[in-house]
């Protein structure tokens, strides 16, 4: 495996931390800047929306720029966003800084995803994408506890001081250790957009949206679900999250290996079938703790194991236009998180939280139908 792939994993970890690290320190920010929790919550919403919308647009705009140079430019802009965040005197400045971080971070994440497979032999392509996915999943899992630890000890700006330092180290690393990477021969935008008319590609991206929506229907409300359906206290809930997090971090690497060994199609099908099965049996394991923990481990692994196989499948489907497709697939993932949390909230309000796993499982079954349609399309 090319060592630069591991470096891209580190960059994706740094960028990914910014997305959810703020959720653990909402109250600290609200108190310091004298705004409501709902206003601070907008910092998460705007970041997710920009991540979903901006990456394909920015990828097209910067298609001709040499990749190392573009990565450095984005990292410098990201560093500026971090510094503004740390020095923000009020909510308005913090909101602007959040937009800067989201725009630069959106392009950096997709750059890592499209550069990684180009640095390795074809047989290691899934693993390369998997390692970058591990960086993102690790940041999403570890971001909240890191934010809580540093925020409560030193104030809400402390986590962003850490991210500022890590970003500076990333800039140094890219400058000295990353070789020049030329962009792919540019395919006209008209041709790239035309490729999206293919049912094979459209239904693949729809699959990502559906399975991530299904996952988020329960994961967004996982803590109250565990507290409602089990006798576990707060300490055990933290352990449950830790178990799930470790499994999720490993899932990206495992998914990449499976995609290389068994092919992207088989890996996607197997993962989605197991994923839906896990959601339907989850409610029946809450009273049997060993079974519950085993189910959580499998769920955690699968939650990030599908992404490398899906990215590999999109590359295999249309290599010349794979960059824009991977970017849109990444957007579909973020939109799935947003829509899944909304659906999950509706289920909690209208039915009960105990129904969330079944609704999530139904969405994942729908994703099985869409991926089969994609496989069978020309």
- pLDDT per residue over 131-153, tens digit each? 777 777 777 667 767 777 788 88
Distance CA 38, CA 93 (A): 17
What digits encode the pLDDT tens for the residues 34-64? 888 768 877 877 887 888 788 778 887 887 8
Looking at residue 228, its pLDDT comes to 81
Looking at residue 365, its pLDDT comes to 94
Looking at residue 247, its pLDDT comes to 84
Residues 6+ away with beta carbon under 8 Å from 337: 48, 212, 213, 216, 220
* Among candidate residues 126, 157, 177, the one where a domain is terminated: 177
Q: How confident is the model at residue 119 (pLDDT cuts 50, 70, 90)?
A: confident
Same domain as 250, residue 152: no
Mean pLDDT value across residues 101-107: 91
Same domain as 147, residue 223: no
Residue with tokens 């449950």: 240
Tokens of 185: 């021969």
Looking at residue 100, its pLDDT comes to 95
With respect to residue 154, please indicate whether it lies within any of the assigned structural domains. Answer: yes
Q: Is a pLDDT exceeding 60 seen at residue 189?
A: no
Do residues 182 and 71 lie in contact, with contact meaning Cβ atoms separated by under 8 Å?
no
* Among candidate residues 111, 143, 177, the one where a domain is terminated: 177
With respect to residue 240, please indicate whether it lies within any of the assigned structural domains. Answer: yes
Same domain as 281, residue 238: yes
What digits encode the pLDDT tens for the residues 268-326? 999 999 999 999 998 898 888 888 889 888 998 888 788 888 888 888 887 776 667 77
What is the rounded (10 degree) CA torsion for 198, 202, 203, 208? Answer: 150
Over the range 130-153, which residues count as b (16 or more CB within 10 Å of their CB) and which as e? Answer: bbbbbbbbbbbbbbbebbbebbee
Same domain as 197, residue 144: no
With respect to residue 164, please indicate whether it lies within any of the assigned structural domains. Answer: yes
With respect to residue 298, please indicate whether it lies within any of the assigned structural domains. Answer: yes
Looking at residue 361, its pLDDT comes to 93
What is the overall mean pLDDT for the chain? 83
With respect to residue 184, please indicate whether it lies within any of the assigned structural domains. Answer: no
Looking at residue 144, its pLDDT comes to 67
Count CA within 13 A, CB hemisphere, residue 33: 25
Q: Which CATH number fits the domain that encloses residue 67?
A: 1.20.1250.20
Q: Which domain holds residue 59?
A: 3-177
Do residues 206 and 332 lie in contact, with contact meaning Cβ atoms separated by under 8 Å?
yes
With respect to residue 284, please indicate whether it lies within any of the assigned structural domains. Answer: yes
The two counts, helices (H) then strands (E), for the chain are 15, 0
Distance CA 205, CA 191 (A): 18
Q: Is a pLDDT exceeding 60 seen at residue 265?
A: yes
Same domain as 298, residue 161: no
69 or 304, higher pLDDT: 69
Mean pLDDT value across residues 323-335: 78
Same domain as 138, residue 27: yes
Q: How confident is the model at residue 188 (pLDDT cuts 50, 70, 90)?
A: low
**Best mean pLDDT range from 24-38, 167-181, 229-243:** 167-181
Same domain as 200, residue 123: no
Same domain as 156, residue 217: no
Same domain as 302, residue 160: no
With respect to residue 182, please indicate whether it lies within any of the assigned structural domains. Answer: no
Mean pLDDT value across residues 72-89: 95
Domain count, the chain: 2
Looking at residue 101, its pLDDT comes to 94
Distance CA 129, CA 310 (A): 10
With respect to residue 183, please indicate whether it lies within any of the assigned structural domains. Answer: no
Mean pLDDT value across residues 340-351: 82
Same domain as 244, residue 158: no
Q: Is a pLDDT exceeding 90 seen at residue 252?
A: no
Same domain as 60, residue 152: yes
Tokens of 225: 């679900």
Same domain as 207, residue 108: no
69 or 60, higher pLDDT: 69
* Among candidate residues 132, 157, 177, the one where a domain is terminated: 177
Looking at residue 192, its pLDDT comes to 58
Residues 6+ away with beta carbon under 8 Å from 333: 208, 209, 212, 307
């Amino acid at each position: 495996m090319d060592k630069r792939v591991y470096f891209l994993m580190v960059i994706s970890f740094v960028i990914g931390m910014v997305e959810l690290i703020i959720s653990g320190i909402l109250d600290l920010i609200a108190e310091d800047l004298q705004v409501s929790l709902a206003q601070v919550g907008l910092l998460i919403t705007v970041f997710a929306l920009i991540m979903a919308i901006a990456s394909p647009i920015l990828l097209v705009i910067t298609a001709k720029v040499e990749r190392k140079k573009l990565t450095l430019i984005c990292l410098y802009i990201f560093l500026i966003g971090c510094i503004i965040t740390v020095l923000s005197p009020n909510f308005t400045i913090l909101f602007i800084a959040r937009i800067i971080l989201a725009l630069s971070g959106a392009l950096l994440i997709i750059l890592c995803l499209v550069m990684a497979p180009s640095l390795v032999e074809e047989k290691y392509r899934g693993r390369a994408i998997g390692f970058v996915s591990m960086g993102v999943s690790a940041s999403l899992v570890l971001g909240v506890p890191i934010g809580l630890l540093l925020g409560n000890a030193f104030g809400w700006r402390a986590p962003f001081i850490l991210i500022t330092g890590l970003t500076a180290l990333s800039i140094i690393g890219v400058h000295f250790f990353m070789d020049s990477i030329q962009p792919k021969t540019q395919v006209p935008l008209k041709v790239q957009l035309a490729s999206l008319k293919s049912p094979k590609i459209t239904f693949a991206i729809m699959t990502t949206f559906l399975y991530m929506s299904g996952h988020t229907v329960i994961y967004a409300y996982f803590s109250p679900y565990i507290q409602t359906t089990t006798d576990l206290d707060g300490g055990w809930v933290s352990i449950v999250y830790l178990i799930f997090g470790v499994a999720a971090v490993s899932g990206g690497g495992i998914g990449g290996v499976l995609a290389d060994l068994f092919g992207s199609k088989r890996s996607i099908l197997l993962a989605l079938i197991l994923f839906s099965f896990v959601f339907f049996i989850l409610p029946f394991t809450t009273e049997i703790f060993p079974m519950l923990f085993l189910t959580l481990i499998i769920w955690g692994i699968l939650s990030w194991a599908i992404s490398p196989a899906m990215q590999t499948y999109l590359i295999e489907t249309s290599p010349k236009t794979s960059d824009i497709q991977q970017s849109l697939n990444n957007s579909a993932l973020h939109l799935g998180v947003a829509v899944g949390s909304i659906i999950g909230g509706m289920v909690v309000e209208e039915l009960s939280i105990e129904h969330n796993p079944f609704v999530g499982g139904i969405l994942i079954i729908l994703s099985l139908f869409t991926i089969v349609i994609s496989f069978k399309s020309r």
